[in-house]
């Protein structure tokens, strides 16, 4: 499940499982919800993302979430996704973290790109929320409130989720 992925455009190393709490390993679990199959639910208090399946099940992923002051919650949809996306930090992030100025016009795709192997773009109506579901190679950040608001999954998990989610799928981010 968390093997190396040399077949990727930018090879993904295996996850160092000593840096990942087993509670955050991907798993198919029983999950009771009134949301339709295909819905993505982010349980921010518990650092889990659920991709709702059929028959009262869901695939559960451990996630890293936005730190205090950078949280987002609500209903939206997955507008689209990108494999190995370019990352462009928002102006307010550059203002808070001046070293990011070098990426004002975009950080090229790659294993060290801030969005990682995949990104799923969250919109409300036709408006980009600027929040993403995206990859990370930093296993120690899963299960923590550490990001600037985005929901991060291990590279292997975002690749798995990306292959399952349909554009337009609802997303519910719980506070």
**CB-based contacts of 146: which residues, under 8 Å, 6+ apart?**
64, 65, 67
Q: Residue 42: name the closest of 150, 116, 126 by CA.
A: 150
47 is catalytic: no
Tokens, residue 26 = 């991907």
User: Which one from 51, 150, 155, 160 is the annotated catalytic residue?
Assistant: 150
Beta pairing, strands 170-174 & 40-43: parallel
150 is catalytic: yes
Q: Is 162 strand, coil or helix?
A: helix
User: Which one from 134, 140, 155, 160 is the annotated catalytic residue?
Assistant: 134
| Enzyme catalytic residues | 134, 150
């Amino acid at each position: 499940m968390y093997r190396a992925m040399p077949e990727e455009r930018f090879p993904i190393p295996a996850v160092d499982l000593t840096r990942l709490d087993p509670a955050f390993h991907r798993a198919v679990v029983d999950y009771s919800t009134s949301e339709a199959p295909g819905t993505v639910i982010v349980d921010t208090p518990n650092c889990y993302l659920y991709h709702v399946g059929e028959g009262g099940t869901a695939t559960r992923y451990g996630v890293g979430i936005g730190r205090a002051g950078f949280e987002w919650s609500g209903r939206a949809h997955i507008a689209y996704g990108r494999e190995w996306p370019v990352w462009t930090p928002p102006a307010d992030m550059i203002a808070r973290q001046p070293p990011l100025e070098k990426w004002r016009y975009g950080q090229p795709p790659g294993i060290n790109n801030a969005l990682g192997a995949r990104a799923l773009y969250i919109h409300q109506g036709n408006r980009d929320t600027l929040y993403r579901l995206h990859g990370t190679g930093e296993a120690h950040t899963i299960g923590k409130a550490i990001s600037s608001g985005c929901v991060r999954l291990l590279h292997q998990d975002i690749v798995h989720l990306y292959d399952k989610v349909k554009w337009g799928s609802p997303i519910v981010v719980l506070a």
